[in-house]
Amino acid sequence: MNYPRPQLQRSNWFSLNGPWRFTFADGKGYRVPADIKEWPLTIEVPFVPESKLSGIEDTTFHRECWYSREFQYQIPEAGRVLLHFGAVDYHALVWVNDIHVARHSGGFTPFFIDITHALDPSGNQRITVQVEDDPEDLEKPRGKQDWSLEPHSIWYHRTTGIWQTVWVETVPRTYVKRVRWTPHLERWEVGFEALIEGEIAEDMELYVKLTTADQLLVEDRYRLIGDQMHRRLALADPGIEDYRNDLLWSPEHPRLIHAQVKLTQGGQVLDEFLSYTALRSVKVHRDRFLLNGRLYPLRLVLDQGYWHDSLMTAPSDEALRRDVELVKAMGFNGVRKHQKLEDPRYLYWADTLGLVVWSEMPSAYRFTTRSIKRLMREWIQAIERDYSHPCIIVWVPFNESWGVPDLTASQPHRDAVHAFYHLSKTLDPSRPVIGNDGWESSATDIIGIHDYDHNPQTLRERYGPQVKPEELFDRRRPGGRILTLDGFPHRGQPIMLTEFGGVAYVRPVDELHHSAWGYVRHDDIEEFERVVLTLIEVARTTAMFSGFCYTQFADTFQEANGLLFADRTPKIPLEKIAEAVRGTRAQGALSWESV
């Protein structure tokens, strides 16, 4: 089992994934574990009951379900025992040995509990979890989870309950609760922050060692003063650019800096763990995106992060790695993770193999005070969880005005976007933020345009060299929506085509052949290939765009507009896609008129 929290890895832990007792409890009035007299079902955690791999595969509406798992674990003589949940959708109550220990709301972010006080000295332990998840609640962040009984259009089956790893770790009485890494490329430094939980003594120190595969970069000790430490770790500047570049992280050269951290008292190690960071910078300069201070065209593909048999949960860690490898094999240098906060294991593979990631908050679909509070609470947790991953280069709190549908007329809706934009910049000033991707932009560092016109020539004429940016924003209405709100003209930010394509192809033998959905559909595979590759070439060669994002990576249930089928087999040879994405196709190989 791979460590669920890649950037703070301790040795003393174990997973609770596997078979749990399970029951739906709609209308039964259960309030505490003792109320449940029988458990008729068994579920394979972390797969949700709607999925095939859970062993249940029940996609009907359920508002409440319960889990229970027994295991053997002896209370350690010293230290604390922490119970972790990667993600539980949506409201979770947790008991350990019938002692209530936690309450958490939010379907995409982790939480943990110190359960030491609730453990049984006999070693026989039992965890019980109650989950409430109203399938029709449009005020909660739900992303692509359908509120109708059957999936339709671009929405899919719901995710109820535990959908990421459940695990236990043992820590000392005083331990490092959280770390944050911030690269400062201009100063050739790495910022290091640590939050300590427990009693602080005068003789406590933090030992930090940074290395690459073949080089010691930093080795130092710092006296603890209070429960937080903030340090900038200065690296030896190699000077000449060739040597500098060897240490920088990019998709083409994903050099990680490995960290060993120890909390000591009087020279004795209390807590120790492994982590990693990277030296890289991301920013916008005028109308272009910069990576490590150099122009870097973004060639992204939109990735929903769903699997046919397991929904939002990857069937394995190998499946997450394979998705990253497939994106790179198609020539893309990044993904726009769409309407999902992805499992940290995916981010680990993106960090390790080299892939940039746009992180997007799953939307709610009603604008109320409660929906904004829910979104903001979970967005703060998301930035906190993923801040240190070098692969993440952009934060996106809203998509296509979902959850803020009246941006053109309602000041509170505009204020919400502005609030999330400035909150994101406050929590993380090191990355660009797109307040609302797709259209109706106001507070944003990048203007993203969603345009699903499937005629390559029309796209070329709409965004080609004869079109001035002021004309684009005054006159163009892709999707029938204005690109920028009144009072927020284009101020020179980079312009990117952040959704386009959406061309569907389904094999005649496929079950969904007649009902599959796409923005446009071609049933002839050669015609599909011509249209897709030409659209990508148009996006890549349009000078106005400093980046693009093709829709989409893989078929997702009835939405059949993937470059890959749902099982990740390619519709078009990967090398042909890579040639179009990178611009290495032979001149004249494809013309817009031929489509």
Residue 236 sits in the same domain as residue 315? no
- Read off the pLDDT of each residue in 289-303 and give the average, rounded to a whole number: 96
Q: In this structure, what CATH number is given to the domain that contains residue 117?
A: 2.60.120.260
- Is residue 2, in this structure, part of any structural domain at all? no
- Is residue 291, in this structure, part of any structural domain at all? no
- Cα dihedral sign, 43-47-52-58: positive
pLDDT score for 466:
84
Q: Which of 170, 203, 224 is the last residue of a domain?
A: 170
pLDDT above 60 (res 593) = no
- Read off the pLDDT of each residue in 248-274 and give the average, rounded to a whole number: 96
**Angle between helical axes of 344-353 and 317-329 (0-180°, round to 10):** 40
Question: Containing H/E element for 533?
Answer: helix 525-541
Q: In this structure, what CATH number is given to the domain that contains residue 186?
A: 2.60.40.10
pLDDT band at 475 (very low <50, low <70, confident <90, very high): low
Taking the C-alpha atoms of residue 384 and residue 367, their distance in angstroms, rounded to an integer, is 24
Within a 10 A sphere around the Cβ of 482, how many other Cβ atoms?
18
- Is residue 593, in this structure, part of any structural domain at all? no
DSSP annotation string for 269-307: EEEEEEEEE-B--EEEETTEEEETTEE--EEEEEE---B
Residue 106 Ramachandran class (φ > 0 left, ψ -120 to 50 alpha, else beta): left
- Read off the pLDDT of each residue in 312-333 and give the average, rounded to a whole number: 98
- Is residue 491, in this structure, part of any structural domain at all? yes
pLDDT score for 140:
97
pLDDT score for 224:
93
Q: Which of 219, 245, 277 is the last residue of a domain?
A: 277
pLDDT score for 239:
72
pLDDT in tens, 340-370: 999 999 999 999 999 999 999 999 999 999 9
The domain tally of the chain equals 3
Q: What domain range includes position 269? A: 175-277
Residue 452 sits in the same domain as residue 499? yes
- Read off the pLDDT of each residue in 311-327 and give the average, rounded to a whole number: 98
Residue 334 sits in the same domain as residue 481? yes
pLDDT band at 585 (very low <50, low <70, confident <90, very high): low
Q: Which residues contact 139 (CB under 8 A, 6 or more apart)?
A: 364, 366, 368, 370, 371, 374
pLDDT score for 474:
67
- Is residue 335, in this structure, part of any structural domain at all? yes
- Is residue 587, in this structure, part of any structural domain at all? no
Q: Which of 136, 170, 204 is the last residue of a domain?
A: 170
- Is residue 105, in this structure, part of any structural domain at all? yes
Residue 158 sits in the same domain as residue 223? no
- Read off the pLDDT of each residue in 162-189 and give the average, rounded to a whole number: 96
Residue 212 sits in the same domain as residue 333? no
Residue 138 sits in the same domain as residue 184? no
pLDDT score for 448:
96
pLDDT score for 477:
72
- Cα dihedral sign, 70-71-74-75: negative
pLDDT score for 244:
80
Residue 326 sits in the same domain as residue 202? no
Averaged confidence pLDDT in the chain: 94
Residue 130 sits in the same domain as residue 228? no
Residue 402 sits in the same domain as residue 466? yes
